[in-house]
Chain A
């Protein structure tokens, strides 16, 4: 991880069994390059992975990561995921079982209401567990990284209402994961139509204003989604749209909704276009005349947004910032934007351009991104090889570090820059976490059944305080805590690339502290 030791030797392609990207130099299978690939395409190495990527070949590993469907899921991971039943329920079923109908049934009975809240909190927690399980244990690491990337890009928030709490997992499963390496337009359409997004940015309620029998105006536009889809999801804030375009797009998207009344009759269709709510008048959107054409108007508007060069540039910039540097190299952004347009927004092809660019392998930018709290926690669990059965200590750490999982209230999602996350108290907290994990003090093996149910976070609590996970009723027992990671193994897992000052500090420390110091080292703060 020390920059100077991470020299990158680029050889001309030809030799490496055709695994290299056509026409681009192959990446040398050095430990440094293997580590860089693991650190950027994934959440860093688990024990033994460095050697494995090296022997597989860095290029071959990257190519495999670009095709997650080709990577077998470990049986144990599948079994763990199978123990989270709410992950298999449709958005409609989640709504029926845990949403407003359940709350209505509870009426004013306080105990029943509490049960509804706890059941919803359980659904949220299962989504969080699944996310962390996959991030830590899935070998399809790029799929996990891109899921995190796109979730933040198309963010929804766990603290907005009951629906917001129960649909997180379904949203990620239905709208994000299938398209994480696919076509941008599919991702845009899937998020636009998912109940979680329709709910979070209010479009499900936006309607053409109409006058009722008594002459009263009913309903009306809600601009929330129309604005954010341009500002955050596609064109970018300087993408050249006006307030008039926001209003026109809101009109175009009237009627894009979901219909709980169909769900109550066992329907399962997550999205509905409701002609009665649609504004049938002519619109002028981004210079295009759009006549009355029902749902097709919105599809056409999303096409326009997905095809805009501003969108290509916006997505290219975000990807390059996420994978290369906080200030991404402009030439790389430009090439990726071109690739986006050449391929009709093919994310896999953009990433291929990215991973085979000299900028991605530039020595100066290797090991130079400051980890987000999420990446820090996930990478620490991966490196330590620790088994996790109780995720609450990790969820709590994410809260305390300011990045609660699914807890970004605003639609811009979490940033991934050093300016956002590096601050004095963050360092103190990270080192406390490193100390707890490195000395085997986190109750990660605690039996789930012994944990109290979570209370639902109120929007206010989520907004104001780190709604810290409630402590367990009984204190941890020794068997709840996994043994501390062996410092020598940990050091080898991370590639033995420590700076002289880190090495010296490590040698001086008593052995029981060394794993903590490795997980808290400056090298491990970055990736």
Chain B
């Protein structure tokens, strides 16, 4: 048995590795398990600034001060396909587009018309637009529905609060943000840990959360505190260690490489509700897009070959008004753009049914319409990438996966 296979079996059997790991390229178990990472942009990112319809003259009519200029102009969009351009702050993602790893689906969203952030996020996370009584989140149902031939599977969420999308019966670990994630705590001292173990030995909700927290924290600290290999250090080429979101995506990549059971992950970023002074190539929105792009690029690079087995979806609860408002910002709108990266994404293409921003094309005369249900994109990813059966899929998205543009069928190759 070769070393790689041994490591794989030890890891899937849940055994701690008895020796320090060498360079990750050698030590990382050979992983064929498919994974999904969802990044949610809370607050409704302006999709018309992310994937800019620069060939649509109405776009510049509607947005006299916040439009992203055409490619080739000063601070212009980065051309994607002759019709759409990428926000210049997302330049770190351009190589992924060029390598056909990254795709966008435009004019996506929820069939529910709400312009409430909180209802819309709730629907996007429950996976049941218009139904408030759904108790669990679709990623929790998905975790329950994934095939488990190789034993228990794991999911993580980044941040101190478990999001709605992971609500439900399946156990999900949450990882502290930043460097705290990799640091041992007072609870790791035996006398203290054992004393609390005795206090939280029951079957109640607190005891269960306690035990899950202790176990996942120990695993995560162990995975993140391994010494970095000399190869990886060299690969950094003296660059400063990642900060903020990029630090978290870097830690996620490490966790995924070291834990083959980790199949689903959720991350979130806030601050997209740009009612005032949104900016264009520079400014408020650009400042938020920059670290997002850096973090995603970091994640893709660090996943390396593992990106072939990992799909990353970026989504936001709704889009913003097609026209700018009175304060060089945008108000709550409807359709938005979804980002799909990695796996067998047939990238380098903007999918969806684009009907333009002129007159009749706008939803209620003000917003990008939703021509593709967000669930039909997610259902593609769950079905074609994660291999979920139709029956399981109907449990994850119970009210039909929704309708959408025909070309979304080709978003992922089989």
Contacts and interface: CB of A to CB of B under 8 A. Distances in A.
Interface in B193-233: 195-196, 198-202, 204-207, 209-210, 212-214, 216-217
Interface string B241-266: 00011000000000000000000000
Nearest to A217: B64
B326 A425 contact: no
A425 B216 contact: yes
Contacts of A459: 271
Contact of A401 (B160, B178, B192, B207): B160
A224 B333 CA distance: 12
Nearest to A520: B196
Contacts of B191: 510, 513
Interface stretch (B51-59, B115-123, B380-388): B115-123
Contacts of B198: 504-505, 508-509
Given A205-B327, A222-B327, A460-B244, A427 B159 contact: no
Contact of B192 (A205, A207, A516): A516
A100 interface: no
B405 interface: no
B270 A410 contact: yes
A400 B325 CA distance: 36
B42 to A, nearest CB: 7
| A201, A209, A221, A505, most chain B CB atoms within 10 A | A505
Contact of B162 (A409, A423, A466): A423
Nearest to B117: A410
Contacts of B117: 410, 412
B167 interface: yes
Interface string A512-527: 0100110011100100
Contacts of A461: 244
29 contacts: A201-B275, A205-B327, A220-B325, A221-B331, A222-B331, A237-B114, A237-B118, A243-B115, A402-B160, A412-B118, A418-B205, A423-B160, A424-B171, A427-B200, A427-B210, A428-B210, A429-B160, A461-B244, A463-B269, A464-B177, A464-B270, A466-B177, A501-B199, A505-B196, A506-B199, A509-B198, A517-B195, A517-B196, A520-B199
B342 to A, nearest CB: 22
B276 A202 contact: yes
Contact of A409 (B177, B202, B271): B271
Contacts of B178: 465-466, 468
Interface of A, secondary structure class, is helix
A213 B82 CA distance: 38
A426 B160 contact: yes
Interface in A404-421: 409-410, 412, 418-421
A502 B198 CA distance: 8
Given A205-B276, A220-B326, A427 B160 contact: no
A192 B253 CA distance: 45
Contact of B174 (A222, A425, A468): A425
User: Of A246, A432, A510, which is in contact with the most chain B CB atoms at under 10 Å from its CB?
Assistant: A432
Contacts of A410: 42-43, 117-118, 270, 273
Given A222-B326, A435-B192, 17 more contacts: A209-B326, A222-B325, A223-B332, A224-B331, A237-B114, A409-B43, A420-B161, A424-B173, A424-B214, A425-B213, A426-B161, A427-B213, A463-B270, A464-B244, A465-B177, A506-B199, A509-B198
A237 B175 contact: no
A472 interface: no
B365 to A, nearest CB: 10
Given A435-B186, A521-B199, A221 B209 contact: no
B408 interface: no
A206 interface: yes
A386 B105 CA distance: 56
Contacts of B204: 522
Nearest to B205: A422
Contact of A432 (B186, B206, B364): B186
Interface string A138-171: 0000000000000000000000000000000000
B271 A505 contact: no
Contacts of B173: 424-425
Nearest to A373: B160
A205 B326 CA distance: 8
B145 interface: no
B115 to A, nearest CB: 6
B182 interface: no
Contacts, number: 184
Tell me which of A219, A464, A468, A516 has the highest count of chain B C-beta atoms within 10 A of its own C-beta. A464
Interface string A347-365: 0000000000000000000
Contacts of B162: 423
Given A505-B199, A508-B195, A222 B329 contact: yes
B403 interface: no
B91 interface: no
Nearest to A208: B326
B187 interface: yes
A465 B206 CA distance: 26
Ranked nearest first, the 9 interchain pairs of A and B with the lowest CB-CB distance are A220-B326, A402-B160, A424-B213, A463-B271, A505-B199, A424-B212, A428-B213, A423-B162, A463-B270
A431 interface: yes
Given A513-B191, A522-B200, A423 B209 contact: yes
Nearest to B272: A463
A504 B197 CA distance: 12
Nearest to A411: B117
Nearest to A510: B191
Interface string B299-337: 000000000000000000000000001110101100000
Contacts of B212: 424
A237 B116 contact: yes
Contacts of A418: 205
A492 interface: no
A400 B331 CA distance: 32
Contact of A501 (B174, B202, B269): B202
Contact of A425 (B192, B217, B287): B217
Given A237-B118, A421-B161, A427-B210, A221 B174 contact: no
Contacts of A246: 115
A9 interface: no
B144 interface: no
A501 B327 contact: no
B186 A223 contact: no
Given A436-B186, A465-B244, A502-B199, A423 B271 contact: no
A36 interface: no
The residue among B177, B180, B217, B275 with the most chain A CB atoms within 10 A of its own CB is B275
Contacts of B176: 400, 425, 429, 466
A231 interface: yes
A522 B197 CA distance: 12
A154 to B, nearest CB: 15
Contacts of A201: 275
A432 B187 contact: yes
B291 to A, nearest CB: 7
A278 B201 CA distance: 63
A316 B273 CA distance: 29
Nearest to A428: B213
A122 interface: no
B409 interface: no
Nearest to A516: B192
Contacts of A513: 191-192, 195
A460 B186 CA distance: 30
A158 to B, nearest CB: 13
A227 interface: yes
B275 A425 contact: no
Nearest to B192: A435
Contacts of A516: 192
A441 to B, nearest CB: 8
A466 B114 CA distance: 30
Contact of B115 (A220, A227, A464): A227
A2 to B, nearest CB: 13
Contacts of B207: 522
